[in-house]
Structure 1
Amino acid sequence: MSTSLLARVLLQPSLSATLSLADWDLLVRQARRANLIARLHDVLAAAGINAPAPAQSHLTAARRIADAQRQRMRWELGRIAEALHAATPHCVVLKGGAYLALDLPLARSRLYGDLDILVPRSALAEVESALLIHGWIVEALSAYDEQYYRRWMHELPPMRHRSRGTALDVHHTLLPLTSRTALDTPALFETLQPLPGWPGLSALAPPDLLLHSATHLFHEGEFANGLRDLFDLDALVRHHGRDAGYWERTVERAGRLGLRRPLHYALRHSERALGTPVPPEVQRELARAAPPWPLPAVLDACYARALQPQHPSCETPGAPAARLALYVRSHWLRMPLPLLVRHLARKAWRRLTGAELREQEAAQRQDG
């Protein structure tokens, strides 16, 4: 598969010296679509490369937006800690918020849309109540979607702060309760690392950060941020991969949590696309979790097409079919077939008859 101009420049910034103004225009467009434009700014700046003025204005603006979002999210973490200090002793910040709180290098160029936290399921009612008291509200949903989240999913319905507008996802595990992957959720809370700047908040340990990133990307069926998430995986490995015992702990934790297969997919595709440094013995060990042939070859072809910026210039032959196949796969992983068929049929019928839209509008009026 051909690699996007964006990925080639991020991996080898010196290539930008050969770009025409039209190429720079395309590069910026791909970076913006992939949510990697602040990262592009930082990679070029680190290499001492000055973009042409028209492109540089976009890159500089992205850098300023990223800085403002990081400052805002750090403040929001303080508000979460304040709201939940009495509700649960275990509030785990996930994904981008965790990278930010841990001051990992990849956090500097990330753009932030929301915050994700993980709490024990036993504390879910107290956590939701505390958040409501502190101004967080549940997004307006139809009654069926509300039930869908609370009965089958791995998180509460999306929340948003009434005055600040910040989005918050409250997880009680990392995969839907009906998922075919048997995740050992209690084990997630065994090796947390506290966040000293935010008393009461924690992050996953380094191996589990990688496992969550891998699981999120390779169980999902939508890839608007797929390339960004793949670069996140690569950055996590490059930051922690040389730590003593890191790979042994990561493979052990993958087995303990039941996540060896998504880790195999993640490291395989990150190494293939980005040259992520993974010890060969780790790849061999994790390959034992791969499904039987020919499924690996099919998935390789699908992911090679899906993990590209979703820009028209990156549409390769078969890309729409690949994304559709992975979307169907994500739902297959999400719930058993009888439940999946019933769920999709009901959703389709409710949309066709307008019942879902009417319920959402009624919920919005009630909330207002």
Structure 2
Amino acid sequence: MLSAIFDFIQNTGFYGMTLSTIIMILVACLLVYLAVVKGFEPLLLVPIAFGMLLTNLPMAGLMAKPVMEIKDNLVTTVQPGGLIYYLFQGNHLGIFPPLIFLGVGAMTDFGPLIANPRSLLLGAAAQFGIFMTFAGAILSGLFTAQEAASIGIIGGADGPTAIFLSSKLSPHLLGPIAVAAYSYMALVPIIQPPIMKFLTTKEERAIKMEQLRNVSKKEKIIFPIIVTIVVSLIVPPAATLVGMLMLGNLFRECGVVGRLEDTAKNALINIITIFLGISVGAKATGEEFLRVETLAILGLGIVAFGVGTAAGILLAKLMNKLTNLDINPLIGSAGVSAVPMAARVSQVVGQKENPSNFLLMHAMGPNVSGVIGSAVSAGVLLSLFG
């Protein structure tokens, strides 16, 4: 009787609890708190946090690999893997992030970028944070070139792109990188305003910009086709992300595939977000997360974010000096591709200085160009180190 009781206790999760699992469960609960109570990117942090919780439950085996057997040259499954192990294959094989981009494209209006092509430069400038952080990660001596590239892409403020590149170059760092990327995306309203105010004067923040011109339907239809061709020819590895982004946008703009547009921006992206979030969170185990390298990733990630924000603002200031146009430098901070949150931050900070100032549509130009820029940057890094 006693042996049966002891066997039962050994088979419970309590018996397998360690200090690292307890810490990771607490971290998961903290992320749930930030998402639910503080409202920090809940659509992403809730599934990521719960995936983190599930994978760190002892004996649950939700990320367990299948047990295979080879007999008579035939491979058979002796024991199937855990549920989240199979969901994670969508990240491992690079399927989920492009499908997220398909939905993002269907929800994105590239009109502000088409109306003001100069904003493409601001989106490009914000990618400077990626390459500066890549260099910093290399110089730290803690990471290989592939790992540094995966860490640097956090500066693009684009979670799916960070997941896509990490799954290709350094899958063992996918958990910490994804958590850092989405956490900093959620903290955009907190991280960016101090940088914006430090780098601009009160007069610059109050600059009013001219209303953007109307963009024709023909321009909006041609734009995703041209971007796909040009980007894919210059940086072929970026074709997967940019192609799906632009296909989703073509669904939106062509006006003849309403059902496909609706599916891409609603049902499909919601389903993939659940699968992606849970499976990414499940990579954040104690063995992989509780390391010095993880702290370095978190530190380098916020540096990447800050440098990208500053680079966009400084280029906007320079453009304002070199041209006769009135460009509010605040829109440069929206070059990081946290759509549309970064653009909203530009609007909020600008209106505090001038209540009649409406910068949202102007900031959306750099914001959506940042999405393209982060995908191109990922393609460049993948071509160099993949």
Give the TM-score band, short-chain normalised: under 0.3
Larger helix proportion, structure 1 or 2?
Answer: 2
Question: Scaled by the length of structure 2, what TM-score is found?
Answer: 0.27
Structure of larger gyration radius: 2
Q: Which has the higher contact order (CA 8 A, sep 6+)?
A: 2
